Amino acid sequence: MNRLLTTDKLICALDTGLRTLFAKPHSERAHPDMAIDESPMDNQQKKHVSALMRVNHTGEVCAQALYSGQALTAQSAATSITMQQAAREETEHLAWCESRIEALGGHTSVLNPLFYAGSFAIGAVAGALGDKWSLSFLEETEKQVGAHLASHLDQLPATDEKSRRIIEQMQIDEAKHANDARQQGAAELPAPIKFCMTKMSQLMTSTTYHI
């Protein structure tokens, strides 16, 4: 029975990875910017906003990978379900970011498979350490993503209401995920681990802005 469950989890993890990296993401909710008209921007502004949304898109790819890895090695069914649910909700963010990038004439990062593999490995290790630590990684990940989103809001052109609406809704969702993890018993991560997560996040941000 346990072997069957493990096989099912592996198939689910593989399916999530393939869909995240190669399939067109879909959103059950309406895109936050759907009712907003496109505002005039020059080519430099479009290039900058597209790069910011590319960073956000790769951040969501990393989140998908992390949660998929955690779901695979989670010690309880409840935690596994929490991770799978978080991953499903992050898929909507992928759809919103990708749609916005396309509208601006940009492209998603070619480094996504590399970052997915690294994040999946980290998630699998976190899940194996125990549920409270797995939830801690979820909470800290969402906090750091929220901080990135806040900084991106400050960098948007004042007239770009479409990108602003997307990022603001993503902020709301990320905060909810972090709060849910805390309510379910997330432990406080040691400072060195938070530091390493921050450095990895900075590496992702600096590379995917350009590539």
Nearest partner of 101 among 41, 49, 61, 35, judged by Cα? 49
Enumerate domains of the chain plus CATH numbers. 45-208 (1.20.1260.10)
pLDDT exceeding 70 applies to what percent of the chain? 97
What is the pLDDT confidence band of residue 104, given thresholds at 50, 70 and 90? Answer: very high
* HSE value, Cβ hemisphere, 13 Å, CA-based, for 25: 27
Q: Which residue has the higher pLDDT, 79 or 190?
A: 190
* HSE value, Cβ hemisphere, 13 Å, CA-based, for 192: 0
Residue 37 pLDDT > 60: yes
- Tell me if 210 is assigned to a ligand binding site: no
Please tell me the pTM assigned to this model: 0.86
Question: Residue 107's pLDDT is what?
Answer: 94
Exposure b/e, 51-80, CB count within 10 A at least 16 = b: bbbbbbbbbbbbbbbbbbbbbbbbeeeebb
Average pLDDT of span 185-205 = 84
What is the pLDDT confidence band of residue 68, given thresholds at 50, 70 and 90? Answer: confident
Residue 122 pLDDT > 60: yes
Question: Residue 4's pLDDT is what?
Answer: 39
Residue 6 pLDDT > 70: no
Q: Which residue has the higher pLDDT, 188 or 111?
A: 111
- Tell me if 60 is assigned to a ligand binding site: yes
| Lowest-pLDDT range of 35-39, 57-61, 113-117, 139-143 | 139-143
| Token code pair at residue 201 | 């996040």
What is the pLDDT confidence band of residue 2, given thresholds at 50, 70 and 90? Answer: very low
What is the pLDDT confidence band of residue 130, given thresholds at 50, 70 and 90? Answer: confident
Question: Residue 123's pLDDT is what?
Answer: 84
- Tell me if 31 is assigned to a ligand binding site: no
Query: From CA 94, how far away is CA 83, in angstroms rounded?
Result: 16
Mean pLDDT of the chain: 85
Average pLDDT of span 82-101 = 84
- Tell me if 38 is assigned to a ligand binding site: no
- Tell me if 152 is assigned to a ligand binding site: no
- Tell me if 28 is assigned to a ligand binding site: no
